[in-house]
Amino acid sequence: MDRVNITMPLHQKILAIANRVFIDEINGINTVAKNLNADFADTISLILNCKGKVVVIGIGKSGHIAKKMAATFASTGTPSFFVHPAEALHGDLGMIENHDVVIAISYSGESDEILAILPAILRKSVPIVAMTGNAKSSLAKFATHVLNIHIDKEACPLNLAPTTSTTVSLVLGDAIAVSLLELRGFKPEDFALSHPGGSLGRRLLTKVSDIMHSGDRLPRVSTDSSLKDAVVEISKKGLGLTAVIDNEEKLCGVITDGDLRRLLDHDIDIRTTKAVDIMNKTPKLLKSSDLATIAVELMEKHKITGFLVVDDKLKLVGAFNLHDLFKAKLI
């Protein structure tokens, strides 16, 4: 192991240590990548055909990796959860069913807590995938599939603290998750369903119907309304626009506060001018079933700040503006 030069300035020593860690862990990843074999492909096929869930177990640092793996699987289309092996000895083993697949992580392959529950798992005819650095370990002997995570050394200068070994376990777990994701044809929309609270989930799941104003909150005037009526409606409803509709509530056009500002350049009597005289007859319209992100794209492209929402018969059903998109955290 190469140690840093003690005569180096402190900041250089720090950077040298950090770079050594990166190199050691990258080398470990490369080693595991070269050792991938048919067992990895068979593991992917096994999980693809699994009718139940993927149960990931590990203890200590491997337990933390197991939790992350289970979370990644679950969010990318592979139902999964973590089981702590010590808790499994006291009842949680009942969470594992005979149509599941178990992934057990132990670099040494000799973790007592994991080995203690393996016979019971096998009695349920549950296949076991071992992630271990020792292909001849007790864990490997229990397993139906062995994924070799052997490395030459840990990044820890004492070669004791799990560092490189946990990194390669994490990367191998990601390789499993991504392989399953691609083979299943997992789409952004599927990801969004597992992440409704995240920005991607909001963008892919929020529809116009979720943010639009309707009913009494909907700004509208009739075709025989005066421009003054339109101004009052825009001010009252606070969306910066009003729809102009006919007697059947079919949309005829829209008047925005921008239209009103532009009228100041003309000699128009607000009391006698009709709403239909100044309305935009070809506004950008949306359907309630459209994704709200479409509005964001149209706003950026056409420099507009509000929309009217219509049904298939062009009847007015809603309206919203830039502030509603902000509230929905879409921009």
Mean pLDDT of 225-242: 93
Within a domain: 198: no
Within a domain: 119: yes
Domain range for 53 = 10-186
Do 160 and 57 have their domain in common?
Answer: yes
Do 83 and 221 have their domain in common?
Answer: no
Six-digit token string for 62: 């491997």
Q: How far apart are CA 113 and CA 54, in angstroms?
A: 19
Within a domain: 240: yes
Q: Is 180 exposed, middle or buried (0-12, 13-18, 19+ CB in 10 A)?
A: buried
Q: What percent of the chain has pLDDT over 90?
A: 70
Mean pLDDT of 144-165: 93
Judged against a pLDDT cut of 50, whether residue 261 lies above it is answered with yes
pLDDT confidence of residue 315: 94
SS3 160: coil
Among residues 151, 186, 221, which one ends one of the domains? 186
pLDDT confidence of residue 296: 87
Within a domain: 197: no
Q: How far apart are CA 328 and CA 199, in angstroms?
A: 10
To the question of pTM greater than 0.85 for the whole model, the response is no
Q: Are 322 and 300 in contact (CB under 8 A)?
A: no
Q: What angle do CA 115, 119, 122 make, to 5 degrees?
A: 120
pLDDT confidence of residue 193: 57
Do 29 and 159 have their domain in common?
Answer: yes
Within a domain: 3: no
Do 65 and 164 have their domain in common?
Answer: yes
pLDDT confidence of residue 198: 58
Mean pLDDT of 167-184: 94
Q: How far apart are CA 327 and CA 213, in angstroms?
A: 13
pLDDT confidence of residue 269: 79
Which pLDDT band holds residue 1 (cuts at 50, 70, 90)? very low
Within a domain: 72: yes
Which pLDDT band holds residue 91 (cuts at 50, 70, 90)? confident
CATH number at residue 150: 3.40.50.10490
Residues counted in the chain: 331
Q: Are 62 and 84 in contact (CB under 8 A)?
A: no
194 or 123, which is more confident: 123
Within a domain: 68: yes
Which pLDDT band holds residue 189 (cuts at 50, 70, 90)? low
Do 213 and 182 have their domain in common?
Answer: no
Q: Give residue 94's Cα distance to chain centre.
A: 30
Which pLDDT band holds residue 197 (cuts at 50, 70, 90)? low
Q: How far apart are CA 58 and CA 56, in angstroms?
A: 7
SS3 273: coil
CATH number at residue 287: 3.10.580.10
10 Å Cβ neighbour count for 37?
Answer: 11
Which pLDDT band holds residue 179 (cuts at 50, 70, 90)? very high
Q: Are 55 and 80 in contact (CB under 8 A)?
A: yes
Do 112 and 247 have their domain in common?
Answer: no
Do 176 and 218 have their domain in common?
Answer: no
The number of domains in the chain is 2
Within a domain: 157: yes
In the predicted model, what is the mean pLDDT of the chain?
Answer: 90
